[in-house]
């Protein structure tokens, strides 16, 4: 149930949440939507949920002594997305290691990838079902990053072979990064390129280091951005030579 404390509504309903269950903190200023999310999550197997209307309400007196495993930060239609996870929690040291997922209406892929670059670990559009949302939370808790499939489809395609950032990657690394951009797992990449899976992992680590990427999704985005920039420069140079 909810109760009013100091003029603010917080979700104080007792929850059965075993110590090994995934605990989700839902932050949403809209009481009805927050209550619906909490009700669903509390019924999921091995999952608990607590809620608050805003970040400054997320003290022990509201959410309990245990820190959440995931923060689901909900943003209303038309509101701006945070530029980074630090903007969500400001300088609150308690949440430094807690992964944050943003839930909002569909946004342009560029905005979603800006979230990832700012340290947000996932973006869940409100167009997906709750089962997908729960799986996304479990994925992030396991160390992954979640973005909607539509974002990967919107990445720019390479339009000219000469525009490859060949000075950055070897031929083999280019083949691997192209496969990553297509969403292929290491096992499939190894099979298609006739390589050992361990060799693919070495290439992936090297690629991530060169691009300063935290995960495979960022590899796809940063590489595609580099290719797009090279294409523009190639086109400008070509026009200047005419």
Q: CATH number of the domain that 205 lies in?
A: 1.10.10.10
Chain segment 31-74, per-residue pLDDT in tens: 999 999 999 999 999 999 998 888 777 776 666 678 889 999 99
Whether residues 138 and 166 share a domain: the answer is no
Query: Residue range 202-224: average pLDDT?
Result: 83
Which is more confidently placed, 132 or 113?
132
- Edge to edge, the sheet with strand 22-27 lists 2-5, 8-11, 47-52, 22-27, 70-74, 100-104, 122-125
What Å distances lie between residue 216 and 18, 21, 94, 165, 205, CA to CA?
33, 27, 28, 18, 10
Please count the structural domains in the chain.
2
Residue 218's nearest CA partner among 109, 139, 101, 113 is 113
Residue 26 DSSP SS3: strand
Give yes or no for residue 116 having a pLDDT over 80.
Answer: yes
Whether residues 60 and 132 share a domain: the answer is yes
State residue 8's pLDDT score. 44
Whether residues 224 and 116 share a domain: the answer is no
| 49 phi, psi to nearest 5 deg | -150, 140
Domain that holds residue 215: 155-241
Whether residues 190 and 86 share a domain: the answer is no
Boundary (domain end) residue, out of 100, 120, 152: 152
Q: CATH code at 117?
A: 3.40.50.2300
Which is more confidently placed, 86 or 126?
126
State residue 163's pLDDT score. 42
Whether residues 16 and 130 share a domain: the answer is yes
Whether residues 129 and 162 share a domain: the answer is no
Whether residues 144 and 161 share a domain: the answer is no
Whether residues 93 and 164 share a domain: the answer is no
Q: How confident is the model at residue 3 (pLDDT cuts 50, 70, 90)?
A: very low
Which is more confidently placed, 164 or 211?
211
């Amino acid at each position: 149930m909810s109760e009013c404390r100091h003029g603010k509504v917080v979700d104080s309903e007792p929850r059965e949440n075993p110590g090994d269950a995934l605990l989700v903190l839902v932050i949403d200023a809209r009481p009805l939507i927050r209550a619906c999310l909490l009700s669903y999550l509390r019924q999921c197997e091995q999952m608990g949920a607590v809620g608050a209307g805003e970040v400054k309400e997320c003290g022990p007196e509201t959410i309990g002594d245990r820190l959440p495993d995931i923060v689901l930060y909900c943003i209303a239609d038309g509101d701006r997305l945070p530029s980074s996870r630090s903007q969500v929690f400001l300088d609150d040291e308690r949440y430094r290691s807690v992964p944050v997922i943003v839930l909002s209406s569909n946004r342009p892929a560029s905005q979603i990838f800006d979230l990832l670059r700012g340290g947000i670990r996932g973006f869940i559009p409100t167009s997906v079902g709750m089962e997908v949302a729960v799986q996304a939370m479990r994925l992030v808790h396991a160390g992954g990053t979640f973005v909607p499939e539509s974002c990967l489809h919107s990445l720019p395609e390479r339009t000219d072979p000469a525009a490859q950032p060949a000075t950055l990657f070897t031929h083999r690394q280019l083949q691997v990064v192209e496969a990553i951009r297509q969403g292929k797992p290491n096992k499939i990449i190894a099979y298609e390129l006739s390589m050992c899976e361990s060799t693919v992992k070495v290439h992936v680590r090297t690629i991530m280091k060169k691009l300063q990427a935290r995960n495979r999704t960022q590899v796809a985005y940063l590489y595609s951005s580099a290719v797009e920039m090279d294409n523009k420069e190639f086109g400008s140079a070509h026009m200047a030579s005419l």
